């Protein structure tokens, strides 16, 4: 049964009130001098961008952020406006707190523990939307060498740091953009990574309803609906669409649908506890315990079969720690510790929950990735398929290897692959 779409709005009445206040304040503020919108300014970045897939724990990623920001001389601003505000947290002021202030303090302590000279929470959130236009707060941002945007809900970044329907920079975001143009690192985890993209920005959705119902511009109360912001996010990353918690939550389907619906030809999906480090020259590098996935849709055809949307010819590349990628040439390179994968197993188990449904999760998360890795390591198979947990309709994903497909195995047994073909349609 199709998901019921609701008017674009945040997902709680309390957030609705706060977002409305933020939009009113930002929308009525006088524009800062020469403050371009995010996507228009993307090409001016000189500093690196670090996109983390969420659940950040790997010391190598924190070390990388601090190093890029200047090590012991780093001054890092922490922005957690995507978290719920302190006023809405019943555990505020306790060790169980989960709000913008205490989350910001958590990141400040971690960054300083990893060697940053100084880290500071930037007090812009739904409790303090007016601070986004504060000259004093913008001045504090003006001498920082790096920024870390925390996780939560990326739409809160839109409503606090961008000016209403104009999608223009607030004073604080303009100051961050000026520092990035001068070489400061911009890092984000989960929602803080998604908001950095220039292209249409996903705001929610699960793969099965996304494939069946398609995408719609906006932000929806039903978290299963595939919504997006057409204007994109802040525009610091312009090489493709971005999504996080990628393999763990089976988001390949939702992002293939969003990209094809909006005319995009590349998606970067970042796994949990994993970072994609992008330099200004178009070079990208993987750091962390999971993988970064690239969906290449240049040769993909979208259609319909039995009334169900189909995608034919998606090319999937999955890269692990140390691997690199050139965005300008669409080329992946294995890390020095990896060698060509020599298949060792004949077993490929069929996936019965290929999109890792939030309603099921009967096995380990990331079942489509598991299926693909078993396929490239198989001595007997060149194709495999998985089924969605959801029925009405049940969906099928076919994976296949051809002359373009390659696999690599690292000294730590990490498996990377390139150009696995993906076809999506009804079972």
Catalytic residue numbers read 190, 213, 245
> Which are the contacts of 378, defined by CB distance < 8 A and separation ≥ 6?
343, 345, 346, 347, 348, 384
CA angle 248, 250, 253 (to 5 degrees): 155
- Taken in order 327, 333, 334, 340, the sign of the CA dihedral is positive
State the greatest distance between any 2 C-alpha atoms of the chain, in Å, as a whole number: 65
Q: How far apart are CA 202 and CA 14, in angstroms?
A: 22
Q: What share of the chain is helix, strand, coil (3-state, %, to 5)?
A: 30, 30, 45
- Measured N-to-C along each axis, helices 100-113 and 59-69 cross at an angle, to the nearest 10 degrees, of 80
CB 125 within 8 Å of CB 100: yes
Side-chain half-sphere of 308: how many Cα atoms within 13 Å?
21
Strands, sheet with 146-149, edge to edge from the N-terminal-most edge strand:
118-121, 75-79, 146-149, 185-189, 49-52, 274-278, 283-288, 324-326, 331-333
């Amino acid at each position: 049964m199709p998901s019921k779409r609701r008017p674009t709005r945040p997902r709680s009445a309390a957030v609705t009130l706060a977002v409305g206040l933020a939009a009113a304040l930002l929308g009525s503020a006088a524009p800062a001098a020469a403050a371009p919108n995010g996507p228009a300014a993307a090409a001016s970045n000189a500093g690196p961008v670090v996109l983390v897939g969420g659940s950040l724990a790997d010391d190598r990623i924190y070390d990388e952020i601090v190093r890029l920001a200047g090590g012991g001389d780093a001054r890092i601003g922490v922005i957690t406006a995507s978290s719920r505000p302190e006023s809405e947290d019943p555990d505020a002021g306790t060790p169980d707190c989960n709000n913008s202030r205490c989350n910001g303090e958590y990141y400040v302590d971690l960054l300083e523990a990893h060697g940053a000279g100084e880290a500071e929470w930037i007090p812009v959130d739904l409790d303090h939307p007016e601070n986004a236009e504060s000259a004093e707060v913008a001045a504090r941002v003006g001498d920082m060498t790096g920024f870390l945007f925390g996780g939560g809900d990326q739409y809160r970044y839109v409503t606090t740091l961008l000016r209403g329907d104009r999608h223009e920079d607030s004073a604080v975001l303009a100051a961050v953009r000026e520092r990035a143009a001068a070489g400061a690192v911009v890092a984000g985890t989960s929602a803080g990574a998604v908001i950095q993209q220039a292209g249409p920005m996903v705001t929610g959705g699960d793969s099965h309803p996304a494939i069946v119902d398609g995408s719609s511009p906006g932000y929806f109360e039903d978290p299963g609906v595939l919504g997006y912001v057409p204007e994109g996010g802040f525009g610091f990353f312009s090489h493709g669409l971005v999504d996080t918690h990628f393999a763990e939550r089976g988001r390949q389907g939702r992002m293939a649908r969003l990209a094809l619906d909006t005319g995009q030809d590349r998606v970067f999906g970042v796994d949990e506890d994993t970072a994609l480090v992008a330099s200004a020259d178009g070079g990208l590098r993987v750091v962390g315990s999971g993988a970064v996935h690239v969906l290449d849709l240049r040769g993909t055809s979208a259609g319909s079969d039995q009334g169900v949307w189909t995608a034919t010819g998606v090319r999937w590349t999955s890269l692990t720690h140390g691997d690199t990628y050139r965005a300008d040439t669409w080329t992946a390179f294995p890390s020095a510790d990896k060698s060509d994968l020599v298949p060792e197993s004949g077993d490929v188990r069929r996936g019965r929950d290929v999109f890792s449904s939030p309603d099921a999760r009967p096995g380990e998360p990331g079942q489509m990735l598991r299926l693909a890795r078993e396929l490239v390591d198989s001595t007997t198979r060149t194709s495999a398929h998985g089924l969605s947990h959801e029925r009405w309709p049940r969906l099928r994903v076919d994976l296949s290897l051809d002359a373009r497909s390659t696999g690599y195995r690292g000294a730590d047994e990490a498996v990377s692959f390139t150009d696995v073909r993906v076809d999506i349609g009804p079972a």
